[in-house]
Structure formats: structure tokens, C-alpha cells
Amino acid sequence: MPPFITLPDLTNWPTTQSLFSPPARLAVIGDPIAHSRSPQMHNPALAACDIPASYIRVQVPVGQVKHAFTLFQDAGFLGVNITIPHKFEALDAVDHIDPAAQRLGAVNTLAIRDGKLHGYNTDGPGFLRSVQEAFHTSLRDLRILMLGAGGGAGRAVAVQCALEGCQRLVLANRTPEKASHLATELQSIAPQLPISILPWDPAHLLAELPHIDLIVNATSLGMKTEDAPLIPPQSLTSQHLVFDMVYRANGTPTPLIADAQLAQAQTADGLSLLLHQGALSFEHWFNRPAPLEVMRQALIASLNP
């Protein structure tokens, strides 16, 4: 099986389909896409459930999502996951949008049923499940600091926090205008929610973090060793919960997670989010519970030490 196929391969599906056994019926799209670990998670789940289908990666250029969805439909696919940078484009490329996806402002899961394209978002609900599993608490009980207030999964998580009625939400972003725009949006969703915008610098973070329960990194910082620290390490305590939406392919902790562990804080990383949003996608496609432990162990095994 090739690491990924391209849009021309999808266009020439009668020839391309012979590369896959069982037949490819599910996919993840992005640009780039070779790094995605979704196949390592979903193919064992399909096998465990005796579903004769393969899950593949397809690299799709920006501006071609609607065309790709039509090709998937014509090829008999059951569903597609959508990752960076296509989640917003996918919102306008489906026939029916789940109300939660509409509120979250992006589509990351496509289900093809009865000749129609149904769009869902599992990032926000997946984050909710991840927090409940990792920290045994609910978002509604927490004062939350979001590092990064931009689009994609980070925006979906911020909206989910507002929908759940968290105690307080603090947005820190390198571009204050983006944080202000998101705050205005969130206030329309949850008018009673206390929302603050925090300048992202060590002094303001040091002053704010004693009043925060859950810290969420919604940026891409932490994938590389040379990335700058997100927050002053001395500001972390054992009372904090730290959720880094980033994870490293070699299984080592990100700098934020490493600092949090030194402070004896509870932690979770992006692998947990990938697991739970993937399980929710599986449930949308097959209307049955996902084999969560099979998916978890497959993801862990996919990490490169």
C-alpha cells in the first residue's frame, strides 16, 4: 500500500483501487498528508470489527475539497476525515451540516450516506472525551487558558469550552485581533461566560496562571525541539491540568508536557485527542461504538521510538 495517493490517482480510481486490499472505502485528506497516523488507528479498528475496508491517505490541494468529495462519492467511499488546511473549505462542500459542526465552524468528518455528503466535527467532542478520560473532570468545572486562538481544532476546542459552560475562558494569542474576534464569537454562543484576552508574554502569564485550572496548547509549538517555550516553566504547579494538542511522532513528551510533569501536574497530549476524535468519526460512519482500546494500542504502537 502506498503511503498516500493524490487527487489524479483518485480521479483515475478504476486503476488506483487495485492498489488496496481490502478495498479502500475510507480516507483522510490534507496537504501535506504523509504524516497522518489516522490509517494506523482506523485500519486495526476496521479489522477488529470485521469490516472489509481499508482507510487510506489522499493528498488534496487547497481549493479542491469539493471536487475530491465528489470523487470519493463516485468511488463508493463511506467517509473521509479532513485535516489541515481543509476543515473550513469542507464546511462549504457538504450537503448537510451537523448543528455541532455549524457551531464549531469547521468540518473534520464526512459521512457519505444515501447519496448525500454529511459534515460533522469531532474535534470539540473528542477534546471533551479526552479531558474526561485524562483528568476525570468536566470542562464546566474549569477555568481554562487557551494558548492560540486561531482556526482549526483550536477554535473548535474553544467553542466546545464555551458550549460546556466552563467557569472562565482566557484566550492568549500572538495576534490579539484573532483573540478578540474569537472572543466576540464565543460571547454570542455563551453570553454569561467570563472571557478574557491575555497578552502572551511571561509577565502576564505568571500573573494569570495561579487563577487557571486547565492550560490548553492549541498552537503547533512543541513539535520541534528548538521551539520556544509556551509559558514560563516556573508558573506551573501540581494543581494545573495541562493539555497539549501537539504530540511527537517518537513518543517523547513535548516541552510543555515535560515541564508540567516536572511540576507534578496532570497531563494529556494530542494523541489522546486524535484517538477520541477518530473514535467519534468511526461512530458517525458505522453507527456503532468504536473499538477504542484497539485504536489506542494501535496508535501507541505507531509511535517511532
User: In 3-state terms, what secondary structure has residue 196?
Assistant: strand
CA nearest to 206, candidates 235, 183, 185: 235
Dihedral of CA atoms 44, 47, 49, 53 in degrees, nearest 10, equals 110
Residue 303, pLDDT score: 87
CA angle 81, 267, 249 (to 5 degrees): 50
What pLDDT is attached to residue 223? 75
CB count within 10 Å of CB 99 equals 8
Q: Is 220 exposed, middle or buried (0-12, 13-18, 19+ CB in 10 A)?
A: middle
User: 35, 44, 45: which is closest to 249 by C-alpha?
Assistant: 35
Nearest to 48 by CA among 301, 289, 303, 302: 289
Catalytic center residues: 87
| 124-270 matches 5-121 in CATH topology | yes
- Measured between alpha carbons, how far is 179 from 167 in angstroms, rounded to an integer? 18
pLDDT on residue 151: 62
Q: What angle do CA 38, 80, 88 make, to 5 degrees?
A: 100
Q: What is the CATH number of domain 124-270?
A: 3.40.50.720
Measured between alpha carbons, how far is residue 195 from residues 165, 177, 192 in Å? 11, 15, 9
Q: Is 283 helix (H, G, I), strand (E, B) or coil?
A: helix
Q: Which value, to the nearest 10 degrees, does the dihedral of the CA atoms of residues 5, 85, 109, 180 take?
A: 170
pLDDT at 177: 87
Beta bridge partners of 58: 5, 29
Q: What dihedral angle (degrees, nearest 10) is formed by the CA atoms of 125, 128, 129, 135?
A: 170
Question: Mind listing the pLDDT tens digit of every residue in the chain (305 residues)?
Answer: 789 999 999 999 999 999 999 999 999 999 999 988 999 999 999 999 999 999 999 999 999 999 999 999 999 999 999 998 899 899 999 999 999 899 888 899 999 999 999 999 999 999 999 999 999 999 999 999 999 876 667 888 999 999 999 999 999 988 888 889 999 999 999 999 999 999 999 999 999 999 999 999 998 877 777 777 899 999 999 999 999 998 887 888 999 999 999 999 999 999 999 999 999 999 999 999 999 999 999 999 998 76
77 and 26 Cβ atoms separated by less than 8 Å: yes
> What is the residue extent of each domain of the chain?
5-121, 124-270
Amino acid at 271: L
Q: Among residues 226, 279, 220, which one has the least CA distance to residue 247? A: 220
Residue 189 backbone dihedrals phi, psi, to 5 degrees: -80, -40
Q: How many CB atoms lie within 10 A of CB 134?
A: 17
**Hunting for cell 468528518 — which residue is that?**
109
Residue 212 vs residues 93, 236, 238: alpha-carbon distances, Å: 38, 10, 12
Name the superfamily (CATH) of residues 5-121: Leucine Dehydrogenase, chain A, domain 1 (3.40.50.10860)
